[in-house]
A and B are shown apart, each in its own frame.
Chain A
Amino acid sequence: MIKKFFLILILIMISFISWNKFNLSQYIQPYLPQEILKDNTSLNMVSAIVLDYRIYDTLFEVIVFTVAVTGISKYLMKLPEYGDYKNEKDSVVETMIPIIFQIIVLISLYIAITGHIAPGGGFSAGVILGTGLLGVSFVKPMEDIEKIFVKSKIEKLKVLVPFIIIIYAISGYIFKGVYFYNFGFFGEPGTLFSGGSAIILNLLIAFEVFSGTWTILYKFIKHRGQL
C-alpha cells in the first residue's frame, strides 16, 4: 500500500513539473517536412524517418526483437508441455474464424505494403497477422498447428531477417559509398512505387515480427500453465 501511495505521489509530482516546464513549441524543427517529402517521396513521414533517416534505430530494434523471441523460445523449451490440450467447441468461433482470418491476412499485407503511403508499417502488420493466427489455434487441433509450425521452418527463417537488412546496408556501401543507401522507387508521392525501399523493408520487418509473435504465442500455448 505504501509503495502504491508513493508511486501515485511521484506520478502527480511529475505531471505537475511537466505542466509548468514543458513547452514543445520552443523546439524548432530544422529539417522541414517538405524537404523530407522531396528527399524520400514517401507520404507517411513516420515511415520516411523510421526506414530512412533513422534506420539504425530500426535495425537494432529488429535485432533486439529477434534476440528476445529466441530467448523466449529457448527458455520455454525447458518447461514441460501442457499435456491434454482440448479445444472447447463453439459453433460461432468455428464458423467465423476461418472467414475472418483471410480478411486479417489481407489487412496485414495491405498495411505492410502501403506503409509509406498510409499509417501502418511493418511492425503493426506483423503483430496483426501473428495475433490473427492465434484465432486459428482456437479452431484447429494443436497437432495441425504444430505440423505447420515445424514444417514452415519459420523459427529458423526469422533469424535471417536482420542479416538481410545488414546485407542491404553493406550493398549500399559497396555500390554508392554510404551505408543504407536508399536505392528504391522514387515515384510520385502517394503512389505505390515511392518512398525508396520502404516496401521491401516493411515486408521484411512484417515477416520478422509476424514470425516472432507467432513463435511467442505458439510457445505460450504449448507450455501453457507452466510459468
Chain B
Amino acid sequence: MSYFITVLLILTLISSLILLFQKNHLDAIIAYGIFGAVMTVVLFVLNAPDVAIVEATVGSAFIFFIYLIAVKKVSKIKIYYYETPYLFENKKGNTEGFEKYILDEFLKKNGFETEYIEIKNNDVPEDFDIIVGGIIAKESEKFFISDPILPTKMIKIGKDNIYHISNYKYKGISEDFTHQENIILDLVRLKYRVYKKGHDEKNEFLENEDYRFIFSKKNKKLLDDFNIYLSELKNDEKTYNSVIRRNIG
C-alpha cells in the first residue's frame, strides 16, 4: 500500500512539474486537469473521500472548464493583411514572407488560433485584431502600433508624386505600384519594382521609416506580448538577421 502511495505522490510531483513548464495556455489547462485527476486518487487512497470528491469536481472539472471557456475564444485572432512582396505575399496558395514568419512564431508561442483575411481595394476593416503587410503607420486614436519590426526608407520616383506621403500612413499599398510613373515607395516595394522592371530608376531619398504592425485598441495585452517577443527576437541578432536574409535577401 505504501508503495502505491509513493508512486502516486511521485506522479503528482511529475504532473505539477509538467504543468510548470508549459508554454501554451491550452497545454497548461490539460496538464492541470491531469494533476487534478492524480490528486483525486491520492486523496481517495489516503482516506479522504470528501476532499477527493471536491478535488474531482473543482480541480479537474470546474476550473478546467472555466479556463477552457476563457482561453478558447481569446485564442482566435483575426489578422488582415495587405499583400506585400517579401513581407507578406501569396505564393501558390500559401502566404509567406518576413512578417508572416514573425507573426506565426509569435502566435504559436502564445497558443493562438489564427484567421488570415486579405484586404483588397484598401478597405479599412473594422473588426481586426492585427493588420499587417508593409505598414508604415503613425500613432493614432483608432489603433495601437507595435514597436518597429524592420527599418525602411521612403523613396520618391518621378517628378510629381501622385501618392502623397500621408496617404500611406496606416494604409498599405495594394494598388499597382510597379507601373505607376510618379510614386513614393518604401524599400521593399522598390526592390520588387526594380525586379519587375529589370532596371534601376532615378530616385530621391525622402525620410527614414519603420515597418510596424497595427493592433486593435481592444487588445492591449496582445500588443504588450508582441513587443516583448519582438525585443527578444531583436536581441537574438543571429536569428533576426537570418530571417531577414532568408525572406528579403
Which of A94-102, A167-175, A191-199, A214-222 forms part of the interface with chain B? A214-222
Question: Does A123 touch B at the CB level, under 8 Å?
Answer: yes
Question: Does B1 touch A at the CB level, under 8 Å?
Answer: no
A80 → B minimal CB distance (Å): 8
Q: Write the B200-227 contact mask toward A (1 if CB under 8 angstroms, else 0).
A: 0000000000000000000000000000
21 CB contacts below 8 A, A to B, read A4-B20, A4-B21, A7-B20, A8-B17, A82-B73, A111-B53, A121-B50, A124-B54, A127-B54, A127-B61, A128-B57, A131-B61, A131-B62, A217-B69, A220-B66, A220-B69, A221-B69, A224-B69, A224-B73, A225-B76, A227-B74
Q: In the docked arrangement, what's the CA distance between A121 and B50, Å? A: 7
A225-B53 contact given A216-B66, A217-B69, A220-B69, CB 8 Å threshold = no
Those of B60-84 within 8 Å (CB) of chain A: 61-62, 65-66, 69-70, 72-74, 76
Residues on B lying within 8 angstroms of A by beta carbon are: 17, 20-21, 49-50, 52-54, 57-58, 61-62, 65-66, 69-70, 72-74, 76
- On whether the beta carbons of A227 and B70 are closer than 8 Å, the reply is yes
Q: From B61, which residue of chain A is reached at the shortest CB distance? A: A131
Residues of B within 8 A of A42 (CB): none
Residues on A lying within 8 angstroms of B by beta carbon are: 4, 7-8, 44, 46-47, 82, 111, 119-121, 123-124, 127-128, 130-131, 134, 213, 216-217, 220-221, 224-225, 227
Residues of B within 8 A of A47 (CB): 50
Q: From A108, which residue of chain B is reached at the shortest CB distance? A: B57
From A7, A119, A128, A220, contact of B70 by CB (8 A):
A220
Residues of B within 8 A of A225 (CB): 70, 72-74, 76
A119-B72 contact given A131-B65, A216-B66, A217-B65, CB 8 Å threshold = no
